[in-house]
């Protein structure tokens, strides 16, 4: 198609140039007044007729041929008028699934005599016994063996999982494992599934301003597509009010609504770059967030291998310290301690029986380095801890009472996940 467009364009260019030369000849011929001064009057009429014939017999057909090529180009453009979004969606849409879940919820029994008789007449007798609670989300197939990547909150503590493929086929699913810390989960389809794996991209190659396409089933509306851009990268989830998660998110203005959770965020090439996880409602509505696909790959590999993800932890509660904050604190005559006027992660508290307590860390210590990495805030320390291994000593450089010192600490597995 591109070759045909190029040929047609070249032909139109040659025709245009020929017509320009021909018209310039007649103009120059008239300007020189050759028809009146050099040619006898008896021959002017035949020459004029000859010019007319040249114009009608040669120029007019050439003009019509050019118009025919132009119409051909329009037909070609009409056939290929779909946007890059349609092409991207065409690559990924067969891999997007709807996930329906069900779980049994036990209600706490209570004394029915405590209910006001008037309310009992209006509302009826209170329900007793277990009830079925249903939920819905999205997911994306990541390999040809029937593995579906989704959010942990979509399939966490459920009794039954049903997966509907893009073709409409409904299959049973089983939860391989969940990781609440990253809000990721892996679901395996039944053996008779013939899935189409989505092409996975590289979230490290993303830049702010890149196209972002969200797919999923918001509010039960299947095969919904929304378009936006990457608004920000490495958005710390703790800044959104989630202190129990460890995530640097992709922020996008592509509409992500309830039911989109677990669906893919796609780039302009039709490659999955993230897993949709949450949307900011109320003030700041219209902001969507996705988990980078590189992290999702790492977590899914661990879930597939062991069914769980082990996260190292130290047992510290930290706040960020800057030079400005330290100077303002030190100028306060009521301050009990003087803080070092430099950047770092300030220890606010140490959890009992934690690796930090065993290593001798105290409240008021300022962590300024971990291993060979300088620490400027709690997030940089958390990233270093995530990269460490369970039980392998990690050297921390701290400031205490105005002096630098080093401590060795062994990260342990984050408790309370199983």
d(CA 105, CA 324): 51
Looking at the DSSP bridge assignments, the partners of residue 280 are: 287
Helix (H) or strand (E) holding 1: none
Instruction: Confirm if 219 and 253 have CB atoms less than 8 A apart.
Output: no
222: Cα within 13 Å, side-chain hemisphere:
14
Strands (E), 115-223: 131-141, 147-150, 160-164, 170-179, 184-189, 211-216
What distance lies between CA 233 and its chain's CA centroid?
10
Among the listed residues 153, 300, 365, 380, the single catalytic one is: 153
Tell me the torsion sign for CA atoms 113, 119, 122, 126.
Answer: negative
| Cα(387)–Cα(259) distance, integer angstroms | 32
Q: How far is CA 390 from the centre of its chain?
A: 30
Direct distance between the N- and C-terminal alpha carbons of the chain, in angstroms, rounded to an integer: 57
Neighbours of 11 (CB within 10 A): 14
Q: Is 203 known to be catalytic?
A: no
List 203, 231, 261, 388, catalytic entry: 261
Catalytic residue among 95, 138, 179, 183: 183
Residue 390 burial class via C-beta count within 10 angstroms: exposed 0-12, middle 13-18, buried 19 and up = middle
Q: What does each C-alpha distance from 300 to 155, 183, 197 come to in angstroms?
A: 15, 11, 14
Residue 311 is a catalytic residue:
no
Q: Which residues are catalytic?
A: 153, 183, 261
């Amino acid at each position: 198609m591109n070759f045909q467009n190029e040929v047609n364009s070249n032909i139109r260019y040659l025709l245009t140039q020929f017509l320009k030369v021909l018209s310039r000849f007649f103009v120059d011929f008239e300007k020189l007044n050759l028809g009146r001064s050099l040619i006898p009057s008896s021959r002017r009429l035949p020459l004029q007729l000859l010019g007319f014939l040249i114009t009608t017999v040669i120029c007019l057909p050439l003009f019509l041929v050019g118009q025919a090529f132009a119409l051909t180009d329009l037909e070609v453009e009409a056939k290929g008028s779909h946007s890059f979004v349609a092409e991207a969606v065409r690559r990924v849409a067969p891999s997007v699934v709807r996930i329906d879940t069900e779980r049994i919820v036990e209600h706490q029994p209570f004394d029915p005599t405590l209910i006001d008789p008037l309310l009992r007449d209006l509302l009826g007798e209170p329900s007793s016994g277990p009830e079925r609670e249903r939920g819905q989300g999205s997911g994306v197939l990541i390999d040809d063996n029937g593995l579906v990547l989704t959010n942990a909150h979509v399939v966490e503590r459920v009794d039954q999982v049903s997966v509907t493929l893009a073709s409409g086929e409904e299959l049973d699913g089983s939860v391989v494992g969940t990781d609440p810390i990253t809000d990721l989960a892996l679901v395996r389809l039944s053996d008779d599934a013939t899935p189409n794996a989505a092409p996975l991209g590289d979230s490290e190659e993303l830049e702010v301003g890149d196209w972002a396409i969200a797919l999923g089933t918001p509010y039960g509306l299947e095969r919904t597509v929304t378009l936006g851009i990457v608004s920000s990268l490495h958005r710390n989830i703790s800044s959104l009010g989630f202190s129990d998660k460890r995530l640097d998110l992709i922020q996008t203005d592509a509409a992500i609504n309830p039911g989109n959770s677990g669906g893919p965020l796609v780039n302009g090439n039709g490659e999955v770059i993230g897993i949709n996880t949450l949307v900011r409602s109320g003030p700041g509505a219209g902001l969507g967030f996705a988990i980078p696909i590189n992290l999702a790959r790492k977590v899914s590999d661990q879930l597939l291998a062991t069914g769980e993800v082990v996260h190292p932890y130290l047992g510290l509660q930290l706040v960020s310290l800057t030079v400005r904050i330290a100077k303002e604190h030190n100028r306060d005559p009521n301050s009990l301690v003087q803080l070092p006027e430099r950047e770092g992660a300030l220890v606010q508290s140490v959890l009992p029986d934690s690796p930090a307590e065993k290593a001798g860390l105290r409240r008021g210590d300022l962590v300024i380095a971990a291993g060979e990495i300088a620490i400027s805030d709690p997030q940089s320390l958390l990233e270093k801890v995530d990269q460490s291994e369970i039980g392998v000593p990690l050297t921390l450089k701290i400031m205490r009472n105005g002096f630098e010192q080093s401590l060795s600490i062994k990260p342990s597995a984050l408790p309370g996940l199983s």
